[in-house]
Amino acid sequence: MSFINENVTIKNADLLEPQSMWNADLGNKRFSNPVLYADYSDPDAIRVGEDYFMIASSFCNSPAIPVLHSKDLVNWKVINYVLDKVPEERYKDPIHGCGVWAPAIRYHDGIFYACFPMPDEGIYMSTTKDPWGKWSEPVNIRPGAGWIDPCPFWDDDGRAYLVAGVAKSRIGYKSVLHMVEMQPDGMGLIGEEVKIFDGNLNDQVTIEGPKLYKRNGWYYIFAPAGGVKVGWQTVLRSRNIFGPYEYKVVMRRGDSSVNGPHQGAWVDTVTGQDWFLHFQDVYAAGRITHLQPMSWENDWPVIGIAKNGNDYGEPVMEFDKPDVGAKTYEICEPATSDDFRTDRLGLQWQWNANYQNSWYKCTDSGLLLNAVSVETGRPLSDVRNLLLQKWPAPEFTCITRIDVTGMAEGDTAGIVSMGMHYAGLCVKKDGVKLQVIAVEGEQKFNGQEVLTTENQNKSAEVSADKIWFMYNVERTGYKDINAEEKHTPVETVTLSYSTDGVNFVKCVSAESLAGRWVGVKNGIYCTHEGENGGHIIAEYVKYVKNVKSES
């Protein structure tokens, strides 16, 4: 991290038009991977009729468990969240790396089920008949720490089951999958828990994230192994749901550039094609989503394209779009830019912890953020009301215009880059002037304990009614982390401010580092030390391709 003081001139920020950040649809009936360059980690998906629904991890952020929708598996939009708040009182504060881990989504007898783990609290279930509408309050169907990555399954005879992995950090061992019978309504477990696979006894170490299916009388468990960044996709199969299970590796990185290709969902199309959605960990940007063709040989799946006589597949980077019938659908992507002139906060936004409605209000002028009280010395990374969204592309610029006339003495407001290396650029109300402050910090984790170090640098004093903040992400190279993790991307984040939207001052530049199991997020905040804070109005947040200096 480095503090700098460099003047940069750009075209008037107010005249820049928001731009598309990432879309995989090539417009010629083909697509390129990834289909989502954003941290929708641990994805699971289903098809219901002509509609596809995908959910993903959300950890301590709220609202929690994003629900995405697509008609063709390539073009996706966020349509909802399963949870308004993360269950349990302790999530009123950020608990990085805890909260909602890899969830599963299923559809049975007209009901959508979202089953999700909280590794310290248990396995939860929430339901709805309308994925665009309200989901039920979650029920903890297996209280207690240790089990993770659950997936429910309803068999042909109406009986229901749950398969799950384990977290060594909570239970003392890893690489083991369990199966247990579930109540047909999904609201509880019955019978004995059975260990059905132990990856410690073979070459499937760190097997986790199981997803359970049935085809041609075989029970299949799709489960990633080998670790997030360097692993592969394994599939287990058995004629009996409780095993014994045989296994086969069905996708490896091979000669592709896609490291650790695994963990996701098998889905089909109305025309009978099979596809697999999975993630790739790209470090600072998190776990991005790929789509692979899937075929079958001798009742084993092959994900991607088999090469050189191999019996497993390798990821494709470009391919024909899924055949979803004669219809064509809108080319789209998750929202990013926002002027907040709506009746509720946009679905691209999540808070750093469970939020309170009193923190904000959407108005005709923009997003009113009240200054939330924080204790003196609280690290920026642990501020509850950071309003964040995922990186939407490997490179981009985000410009935020803030009306600061409502700030009270002692208020602080600005932008943040949130990862294990984090940075902020803000203004603090000090009399009639605003003090510009640059913040840099680092989180280090020892198990569940976190040690945070933070430094601040006062840059300048300004007097203005509006402040423009610019957040720029640039791919600046690649580096080898170790013998297995080579040629990993390096992104540099630069934070700047302006009092006229044209002449900016660069204040912070840093190589970015992902958060605790999540990609870097960027956003805005407003805080106050003590009581009786004021407010700011975020008039717009605008995402564009990398803005270049005019100087």
Is 208 among the residues known to form the active site?
Answer: yes
Considering 39, 42, 274, 491, which one is annotated as catalytic?
A: 42
What is the torsional sign of CA 443, 382, 286, 221? positive
Phi, psi of 472 (to 5 degrees): -120, 130
Q: Which amino acid is at 59?
A: F
Q: How far apart are CA 223 and CA 262, in angstroms?
A: 8
Compute CA distances 496 → 405, 503, 505, whole Å: 20, 10, 5
Residue 274 annotated in active site: no
CA atoms of 423 and 353, how far apart (whole Å): 18
Please, which contacts does 251-255 make with residues 24 or more away whose CB atoms are closer than 8 Å? 251/276, 251/278, 251/292, 251/302, 251/303, 251/304, 251/312, 251/313, 251/314, 251/315, 252/312, 252/313, 252/314, 253/314, 253/315, 254/307, 254/310, 254/314, 254/315, 255/307, 255/314
Choose, from 39, 208, 274, 403, the residue flagged as catalytic. Answer: 208
- CB 169, CB 156: distance < 8 Å: no
**Residues in CB range of 405: below 8 A, 6 or more apart:** 465
Strands 433-446 and 387-390: what pairing?
Answer: unpaired
SS3 readout for 481-547: CCCCCCCEEEEEEEEEEECCCCEEEEEEEEECECCCCCCCEEEEEEEEECCCCCEEEEEEEEEECCC
Of the candidates 164, 139, 131, 140, the residue with the CA atom closest to the CA atom of residue 53: 131
Catalytic residues: 42, 208
